């Protein structure tokens, strides 16, 4: 009964009636302390759950195919290579750990490499694989990290255009966060270690509705990027409703970074957030309304139950469960601020290939250059074959950058075979280095951003899942 979506309660002489918003015209009628759900059909009152005339028996329909939606064809193919990448990552981690024992040559270096591989590649990929199984892919009021873990809670909704949001946030003293690039990532590291100001420091990617946030804003605290206010924004799908039936145009997740530390789940260096996310939510609203008093707020009380949980970095979060809806419609013409730079920056960044794909291409180019050097030093059948193979890999990478999915699959297949081959013969340090490069390429081309890039704007049949 509680799963049915209903409208407002109407109190009458005969009891309380709750009108259904969708589906048949079922109504709840309460009279003489007895509640019934009924509807009127052809002048007859039909009770939805009448008293059974005989002892109930359980019957189940036999399904040969699972009712769950299967993955897209290329998503399923990519999933196979994701598993291969996970196997390769832990295989390489084991080889590095064997060389990281005290007394071994360069054991400190191997130990650091083992930690980096385990925390930034192997464990995130393991989380990614398992969260595909047990984390829901529908809206539950939580964002997801790139590894599939539950991220920051959604604690704010907005009404208005993208230009209105940019105008309102900029007028309130917020800075549009940079996109994640090699330059911005290095700037973030320098800022955190040197306690230098970086007002437009990038934020990590979080996902909602299967999409990365459209843009993010932040405010530094005392010129130190280790402490900052930040909020990410997602546009809701067309026609989508919140649980309960409310319509909003944007959802946002705002938290306050209090320090830099290690993730409890992966061991990565990351920001640690303040547990009380309601304070940050209210701070965002107050800064906007102070700068634009004509903006308004309504609150969806008890949007979710109040709860204590953890985000993708292992930080505690707790909230009262209310969802304020901040209406900034018309803020752009009211505040007369130019927001073109923010939109152009976001659009330009989305046109660039993701960093993992660019990194894989750089490694491929280096391999071709090395193969050319071997041929020039002493051409033979082996070096010539290697040059041809590396050239084919580079060509498939170029086609993958152009959103050619067949080339992406070929690139993954060739690099996976190469990685397995190099891991089988890692006797010398050079063998470990070559194996590490091959594994890094496989992990890079099977990463979430790369899969989203090559599948952008494409649809293909779904794989039918067998009945479990």
pLDDT at 439: 85
pLDDT at 281: 93
**Among residues 456, 455, 465, 464, which one has the least CA distance to residue 75?**
455
Predicted confidence (pLDDT) per residue in 301-312, tens digit: 888 876 666 666
Q: CA 267: distance to chain centroid?
A: 19
pTM above 0.75, yes or no: no
pLDDT at 21: 36
Predicted confidence (pLDDT) per residue in 142-168, tens digit: 898 877 788 888 999 999 999 999 999
Divide the 468 residues of the chain into consecutive groups of 10 and give the mean pLDDT of each group.
38 41 52 60 71 84 57 76 89 88 84 87 82 78 83 92 95 91 78 77 87 92 79 94 89 86 67 84 95 93 74 74 92 72 50 79 80 74 75 87 86 86 70 78 82 70 55
Domain ranges of the chain: 6-47, 73-130+353-454, 135-351
């Amino acid at each position: 009964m509680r799963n049915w979506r209903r409208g407002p309660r109407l109190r009458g002489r005969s009891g309380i009636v709750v009108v259904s918003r969708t589906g048949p015209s079922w109504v709840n009628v309460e009279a003489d302390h007895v509640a019934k759900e009924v509807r009127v059909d052809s002048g007859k009152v039909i009770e939805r759950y009448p008293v059974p005339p005989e002892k109930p028996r359980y019957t189940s329909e036999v399904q040969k195919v699972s009712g769950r939606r299967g993955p897209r064809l290329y998503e399923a193919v990519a999933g196979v290579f994701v598993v291969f990448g996970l196997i390769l990552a832990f295989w390489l981690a084991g080889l590095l750990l064997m060389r990281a024992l005290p007394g071994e040559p360069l054991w400190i270096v191997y130990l650091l490499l083992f930690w980096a591989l385990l925390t930034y590649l192997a464990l995130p990929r393991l989380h990614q694989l398992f969260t595909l199984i047990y984390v829901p892919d529908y809206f539950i009021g939580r964002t997801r990290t790139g590894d599939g873990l539950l991220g920051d809670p959604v604690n704010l909704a907005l009404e208005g255009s993208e230009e209105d949001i940019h105008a309102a946030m900029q007028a309130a003293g917020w800075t549009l966060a940079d996109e994640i690039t090699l330059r911005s990532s290095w700037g973030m590291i320098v800022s955190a270690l040197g306690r230098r100001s970086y007002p437009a420091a990038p934020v990590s990617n979080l996902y909602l509705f299967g999409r990365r946030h459209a843009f993010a804003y932040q405010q530094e605290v005392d010129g130190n990027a280790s402490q900052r206010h930040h909020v990410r924004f997602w546009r809701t799908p067309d026609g989508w409703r919140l649980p309960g039936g409310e319509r909003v145009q944007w959802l946002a997740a705002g938290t306050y970074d209090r320090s830099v530390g290690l993730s409890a789940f992966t061991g990565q260096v990351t920001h640690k957030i303040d547990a009380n996310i309601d304070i940050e939510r209210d701070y965002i609203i107050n800064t906007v309304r102070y700068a634009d008093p004509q903006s308004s707020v309504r609150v969806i009380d008890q949007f979710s139950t109040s709860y204590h949980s953890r985000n993708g970095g292992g930080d505690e979060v707790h909230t009262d469960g209310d969802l304020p809806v901040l209406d900034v419609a018309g803020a752009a013409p009211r505040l007369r601020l130019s927001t073109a730079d923010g939109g152009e920056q976001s659009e330009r960044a989305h046109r660039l290939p993701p960093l993992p794909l660019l990194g894989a291409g750089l490694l491929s180019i280096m391999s071709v250059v090395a193969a050319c050097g071997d041929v020039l030093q002493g051409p033979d059948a082996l070096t010539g074959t290697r040059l041809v193979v590396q050239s084919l890999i580079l060509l498939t990478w170029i086609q993958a950058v152009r959103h050619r999915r067949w080339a992406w699959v070929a690139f993954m297949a060739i690099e996976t075979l190469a990685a397995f081959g190099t891991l089988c013969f890692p006797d010398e340090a050079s063998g470990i280095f070559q194996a590490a490069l091959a594994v890094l390429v496989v992990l890079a081309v099977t990463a979430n951003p790369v899969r989203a890039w090559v599948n952008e704007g494409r649809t293909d049949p779904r794989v039918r899942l067998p009945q479990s």
